[in-house]
Amino acid sequence: MTFQVFDTTLRDGAQREGISYSVVDKLAVARLLDDLGVGFIEGGWPGAVPKDTEFFRRAQGELDLRHALLVAFGATRRAGLAAADDPQVAALRDAGTPAVCLVAKSDLRHVERALRTTGAENLAMVADTVAHLVAEGRRVFLDCEHFFDGFRSDPAYTAAVVEAALGAGAERVVLCDTNGGMLPSWVAAAIGDLTGRLGVPAERLGMHAQNDTGCAVANTIAAVEAGVRHVQGTANGYGERPGNADLFTVVANLELKLGLRVLPEGGLARMVHVAHAVAEIANIAPDTHQPYVGAAAFAHKAGLHASAIKVDPLLYNHVDPPVVGNDMRILVTEMAGRASIELKSRQLGLDLADRPETLGRVTRRVKELEAGGWSFEAADASFELLVRDELADQAVPRPFTLESYRVLVEHREDAAVVSEATVKIRVRGERVIATAEGNGPVNALDEALRTALVRHYPGLRGFELADYKVRILEGSHGTDAVTRVLVETAGADGRDWTTVGVHPNVVEASWHALVDALTYGLSRVGAAT
């Protein structure tokens, strides 16, 4: 049977704390998931959630999916009511999707205590609803809620729910670890027991795993190795409590480790883009340490790693990063050796392989600065300027020299706080004095410096201060602590760069980072000459 990748980012993933998709957001996420190449996109629960009802209405005219089928989610009919007469079932029909995913209780304890009905009636609810929607021309999937807990408690009844759904025409029955408490060996054992009891192939089953034990991805892979050919997950592992199985990690493992083709050609290479775009829509910072798609997934810090990577990158990368749309990064830190510095410089377009003396000087300089609190892990622009300073033929000329700067912070009687900065610099032989106000001392200093420079370097108008971070360094205490400042600057071309400054005075640390930011940016636009 065909392998099925079933995404539930818009339904189960939306239950993550802090996520609230608008209808427009849901349409945008659906397009991204379709671009990735998933087979099914579960859009929500029409009839139960007004926003989801509106999403399905708009999807009929606004979504042109190339790879995925849209799926409406809902419950089996209520006890004592025919499926054709149940309003919730009618809402599933009215959603107009080619496929429907039903949720049903499969743990007898939940049937009796939560649904307050009998085991026999629950089986009838499953069979009637599945058969009704199949007769209406829908492809039907059934999620067996609390399957694994129910199977450990009463395997005969839980197996009967699976059998009722398959007998009524369900395409796949999905085994749900709803509480997320399973381990991989337990999942594999349960699937083997179930298929033996019912005499059905594991290909007719699916897997839906929550991550409460940190095993959602592992449990999903274990289910596939047990024969399951339908997997459910969410983008970036979003979901209630610790979340769901991360769809990106699951599909990458299936394709790159188990050799299964589960996405269309080129799908894996779009994973990083889709992962970050969904995070942006969800207004959640991407997890830098997320497997495969995180910014640090292929980042190497130790000099020993870099030495091996210099010979063959795959010696310390379990896959080739571009396969999943990612890049390898070499982090420049106090742990860096000559190999790390050489590789990082090469990534920035600076080849030090035939310049051993320069390489040695850069390595020593980095280690000295790191000992004083500097860090170049996230400040590639400052690192590049440092390397170029050691290369006489590629050094970046500084666009000005500083005479002095002054920053004032005034707390006025009306409680307004105003910052004002004055800079005195020399630019191309001219002494320039500029003053500016800002919403803080660093913003005022940035504005004053730009005001002083812009007449000579009009390219500055395209630079924007995008982010500013301050960190008190470990081992420092109180107001006398050494601070590290990171400044992220965005250019008019959409690219950004990060610079670093360190000093006991936070304004001076900020000044170092700001000067590097403008110097680097001007070198990119060819204006710092």
What pLDDT, on the 0 to 100 scale, is given for residue 241?
97
For tokens 């892990």, the residue is 377
- Identify which of 216-230, 306-320, 406-420, 451-465 has the greatest average pLDDT: 216-230
Contact 150, 184 (CB under 8 A): no
Q: Find out whether 33 and 4 touch, Cβ atoms under 8 Å.
A: no
Distances (CA, A) of 231 to 10, 161, 224: 16, 19, 8
**Burial (CB count within 10 angstroms: exposed 0-12, middle 13-18, buried 19+), residue 174:** buried
Q: When comparing pLDDT for 421 and 491, which is higher?
A: 421
What is the spatial distance between Cα 477 and Cα 400, in angstroms, rounded to a whole number? 34
User: For 4-282, CATH number?
Assistant: 3.20.20.70
- Full-model pTM: 0.71
**Assigned fold of 401-524:** Double Stranded RNA Binding Domain (3.30.160)
Q: In sequence order, what are the beta bridge partners of 433?
A: 424
Interval 20-49: pLDDT, tens: 999 989 999 999 999 999 999 999 999 999
| Sequence ranges of the chain with CATH classification 3.30.160.270 | 401-524
Q: How far apart are CA 513 and CA 502, in angstroms?
A: 8
CA atoms of 529 and 452, how far apart (whole Å): 17
pLDDT for residue 340 = 63
In the chain, residues under CATH classification 3.20.20.70 are 4-282
Identify the CA nearest to 7 among candidates 23, 22, 29.
29
Coil/strand/helix, residue 518: helix
Give the burial string for 385-419 (b: 16+ CB within 10 Å, else e).
bbbbebbeeeebeebbeeeebebeeeeeeeeeeeb
pLDDT of residue 334: 46
- Could you tell me which residue, 259 or 479, shows the higher pLDDT? 259
> For residue range 391-442, what is the model confidence (pLDDT) as tens digits?
877 888 899 999 999 999 998 888 888 999 999 999 999 999 999 999 889 9
* Coil, strand or helix at 418: strand
Kindly state the average pLDDT of the residues 120-135: 98
Q: What is the mean pLDDT of residues 476-500?
A: 79
pLDDT, tens only, 305-338: 555 555 556 667 788 888 998 877 665 544 455 6
**Residue 310 pLDDT:** 52
Q: 236-271 b/e with 16+ CB inside 10 Å = b?
A: bbbbbeebbbbbbbbbbbbbbeeeeebbeeebbebb
